[in-house]
Amino acid sequence: MFPEPPSKRPRISGSPVSPSFKTPPTTQDYDADDSHSEEESVDNESHIDSSIPETSDSSDESSDEDPGSDQESAASYGEPQWSWQRSKRGKPLLVVSSYRLHRKRPTTKDGCRVRYVCSVKECNASIYTLYDAPLFDTLKDHNHAPPLSDNGWGAFLATRVKEIATEQPELENREIYERALDDVDPDYLEEVEGQESFRHVIQRARSKALPPNPKTRADIDLPRLSTCRGESFILIDDAPKGCREDRLIVLGSVSSLKLFCDADVVYGDGTFRSAPARNGLYKQIYTFFVKDKAASFSIPVLHAFLPDKSYTSYHRFLFLLRQRIATLGYHFKPTVAIFDFESSMLKAWKLLFQSTLVRCCFFHLKKNIHSYLVERCGLKQHHARNTNGLRDLLNSMRGLPLVPIHHIPKAWAAIEIEYQTVRAAMKDNYKPGLDRFIAYFRKTYLGVV
C-alpha cells in the first residue's frame, strides 16, 4: 500500500489541495514487484476515486466566517480532484480531475523528480511530482475530454471495437470504429475518443484473431479462398519438384481468368508497396486488369506473387498462366497488351503471347522521365522554376508518343534544337545532368545510342 498522507499540502499548478489524500508512491514502491493481491489492486477501468477533497485547516477557518461573505474556499472553487491508485498491473496511477496518468521513472540524478504522462497515447499532457516536497507541476494540458466524462460509454466503445475487430478482422479500421460507434448513446458521441485512439486496440485484436504471418514461402498456408459466388480464388500454386521455398502463387478465379482471355485489351502493372517483403517472401505483386466493356473502368482479374522482377520470374509466371489457360480450354483473344516500361516483362510477354500487340503506358512514360530528370540528374529546382525553359523541353518530350510515327524523326529533330538552346543557357555544373537525361531518353524510348 502507499505511505500515509503527508503533513504538507500538495498543490497542482499552484492551486491548494487538501492534505487528506495519500502521498506520491516512493521509489521503493515504484521498483517493487508487480505481483500484488486482489485486495491491494484497483481496477483503473472501473474504480477511480473522484470524490471532492476534504478542506484543510485554513479552509475550516474560512468556513466560520459570515455565510453572506462572497469569499469561497479553495475546496469549493477551482480545486482539482486527485488521488493515487494502482493500475491493473499494480503500477502507480495518478488520477487528476478524472484524467489517468501513468508513472515514468525519475528524471533527475537525485531520483526525486518523477514524471506522469497521460494514459491516452495521442495526448502529450504530463505532470511532475517531487519526493522531498509533495508538489505538482503541470507541463502540458490534455488535448481531449476526461475519460470519465463519457458516463462509461468510452469503455463500452473500446469493448465494442475490440469485439468487432476480433469477429471481423478483415474490416478496415474506419469501418470497425463506425460500426462500434453506432451502438454509443448519441448524447455522448462528442465525449468518446476518435478513431485514431483505438488504432492499437484494433491491431492487437486483429493480430490475435488472424493466424501468424509466415516466415518462409513453405510456411504459407493458403486457406480455402473463395469468391462471393463460391469459386476458388487460388488459380496457381506452383512448387517445382516439391520445393515449397520456390513457390509461385497466382490468385484469381476461373471466371476472372475467362474475363482475362475474352478481353480486347489487357493491362499489366506491378507494385512493391503491397508485397509481403518483410520476411523476404515476395518482393512484387503483379496484377492484370481488363476493361469492362459495359463501363469505363478497369477490373483487376489476376494477382501474382513474384520473388523479384527478373526475366526468369516473369517468364515462369506467364508460362504457368498460359498452361492454365490451355488446361481450361480457353482461347486467349486480347489483341493489345499495355504495360509499364519493365523490359523483362515485355521480353517474356512477346515470347509467350506472340499474337498480342504490346504497347507501353503513357502515364508511366511521363512518370519515368520526370523521376529520372529530378532524382538522378539533380535538376529538380530547374524543373520547378522552368529555368531556361527546362520544363518546356520536358513537356515536348512527353508529347512525343502522341505524334504520328512517320513524323517522329522531324519532331525529335525539333526537340534536339530546343535541348541545345536550353543547354547553352545553363550553368556549366548543370549541363552534365541534362546531357545524361537526353542520353537516357534516346536509349530507352527511341532505341538510339
194-244: per-residue pLDDT in tens? 888 888 889 999 988 888 888 888 888 887 888 888 889 999 998 887 777
- pLDDT of 43 reads 41
Q: How far apart are CA 145 and CA 72, in angstroms?
A: 26
- Is the pLDDT reported for residue 143 higher than 90? no
Task: Work out the average pLDDT over 16-34.
Answer: 41
Task: Work out the average pLDDT over 414-433.
Answer: 90
pLDDT band at 16 (very low <50, low <70, confident <90, very high): very low
Note whether 266 and 333 are within 8 A (CB). Answer: no
Q: What percent of the chain has pLDDT over 70?
A: 73
59-91: per-residue pLDDT in tens? 344 334 444 433 333 333 344 566 777 776 777
323-369: per-residue pLDDT in tens? 999 999 999 999 999 998 888 999 999 999 999 999 888 888 888 88
pLDDT band at 145 (very low <50, low <70, confident <90, very high): low
- pLDDT of 148 reads 56
Task: Work out the average pLDDT over 82-109.
Answer: 72
Task: Work out the average pLDDT over 379-392.
Answer: 85
Write down the domain spans for the chain: 11-65+74-144, 153-209, 220-360, 365-446
CATH level 2 (architecture), domain 220-360 = 2-Layer Sandwich (3.30)
Grid cell 505481483 in the structure block, residue: 35
Q: Average per-residue pLDDT in the chain?
A: 76
- pLDDT of 324 reads 95
Task: Work out the average pLDDT over 18-32.
Answer: 43
- HEC secondary structure over the chain: CCCCCCCCCCEECCEECCCCCCCCCCHHHHCCCCCCCCCCCCCCCCCCCCCCCCCCHHHHHHHCCCCCCCCCCCCCCCCCCEEEEECCCCCEEEEECCEEEEEEEECCCCCCEEEEEECCCCCCCEEEEECCCCCEEEEECCCCCCHHHHCCHHHHHHHHHHHHHHHCCCCCHHHHHHHHHCCCCHHHCCCCCCHHHHHHHHHHHHHHHCCCCCCCHHHCCCCCCECCCCCECEEEEECHHHCHHHCEEEECCHHHHHHHHHCCEEEEEEECCCCCCCCCCCCEEEEEEEECCCCCCEEEEEEEEECCCCHHHHHHHHHHHHHHHHHHCCCCCCCEEEECCCHHHHHHHHHHCCCCEEEECHHHHHHHHHHHHHHHCCCHHHHHHCHHHHHHHHHHHHCHHHCCHHHHHHHHHHHHHHHHHHHHHCCHHHHHHHHHHHHHHHHHHHCCC
- pLDDT of 306 reads 92
- Is the pLDDT reported for residue 266 higher than 70? yes
- pLDDT of 147 reads 61
- pLDDT of 18 reads 33
- Is the pLDDT reported for residue 151 higher than 90? no
- pLDDT of 27 reads 46
- Is the pLDDT reported for residue 3 higher than 50? no
Task: Work out the average pLDDT over 269-296.
Answer: 82
- Is the pLDDT reported for residue 45 higher than 60? no
- Is the pLDDT reported for residue 32 higher than 60? no
Decide which of 259 and 23 is more confident: 259
